[in-house]
Amino acid sequence: MIRSMTGYGAAERSDPDVRIAVEIRTVNNRFFKSVLHVPEGLGAVEVAIDKILRESITRGTISLGMALEPRGGGARVPVNKDILEAYLKDLDGFAGALGQKHYYDALLGFVLNLPGVVGSQDVLLTGIANLPERIEAVVREAVGRLNAMRDTEGQATAADMRAALTEMERLIAAVDARVPAVINEYRDRLRERVKALLEGGDIAVDDQTLAREVAFAAERSDINEEIARLKSHVSQYRELLVESGPAGRKLEFLTQEMYREVNTIGSKSADSEVSRHVVGIKVGVDRLREQSQNVE
């Protein structure tokens, strides 16, 4: 099933310890690229998040934002006891050396402001029980909603693709039906030209010579193989629209092959009606190419 590369998904969970909110946005990209914005101190979780994203997304630029808010008793910023005891020991030694105990009492209030005594918010977050598992659960929920949106957009894209394919098939059939008439018309025009050139002269051109020239022209302008391959590409394109799994790169490749065949048909045929149909087919291939760049 066709899935769009663009989408949005969000999820949020709260419990007595923490609130976790995740937003994911995706845009077009030929390759996979993830940009993660998570709170500092949670770098270890980024590896697990990237793995979750890669499990469900094969290409596109993914931007993930995360907000974490400690709650309840867990919101208390921890005091680093070892660092505090070291500062107090130093302060006690200074006061004892100076023989003035009141210095110790006066400076004690400033100890909590010294570097490392009071833990940062980052330290607090890493201390929440099972935080990585909680984050991963919210990310998976957000990815699920993202993919639901991308599936919906993909269905609309696939419908537009099928409409383009249907019109292309109609034009290809018209070109295919026109091929025999083109040869017959060329033969008739050639006969009339030869007749006009030789009129009043003593030179004669037999039917065998005329038939040989028509055969040469037919061989030079033969587009049956190109039409057959073009029909095959259109058929394969339709099949990919209903297959499971990513199909964007395959669809892009098929549009390139379609261009090749259509251009060859246009260059081989000098018939105005065929040329008009070729223009219409190219419009359809352009439409498919643009859409295939939007799907995963």
pLDDT digit string (tens) for 132-166? 899 999 999 999 999 999 999 999 999 999 999 99
Which tokens in the block code for residue 29? 């990209």
Does the pTM surpass 0.85? The reply is no
Burial per residue of 247-274, b for 16 or more beta-carbon CB atoms within 10 angstroms, e otherwise: bbebbeebbebbbebbebbbeebebeeb
Give Cβ neighbours of residue 122 (< 8 Å, ≥ 6 apart).
Answer: 39, 40, 41, 42
The predicted-structure confidence for 255-276, as pLDDT tens digits, reads as follows 999 999 999 888 877 778 888 9
Considering only CA atoms, which of 44, 50, 23 is closest in space to residue 122?
44
Task: Enumerate domains of the chain plus CATH numbers.
Answer: 7-74+128-150 (3.30.230), 79-118 (no CATH), 152-184+222-292 (1.20.1440)
Question: What pLDDT digit, counting tens, does each position of 10-28 carry?
Answer: 999 998 888 999 999 999 9
CB 69 within 8 A of CB 33: no
pLDDT exceeds 70 at position 119: no
Select the highest-mean-pLDDT range: 127-141, 196-210, 281-295.
281-295
**Position with higher pLDDT, 118 vs 53:** 53
> Does residue 183 contact residue 218 with C-beta atoms inside 8 Å?
yes
Show the tokens assigned to 245.
């799994």
Looking at 119-123, 129-133, 259-263, 290-294, which range is the least confident one? 119-123
Which is it for the CA torsion 81, 86, 87, 88, positive or negative? positive
Sign of the torsion formed by the C-alpha atoms of 35, 40, 43 and 44: negative
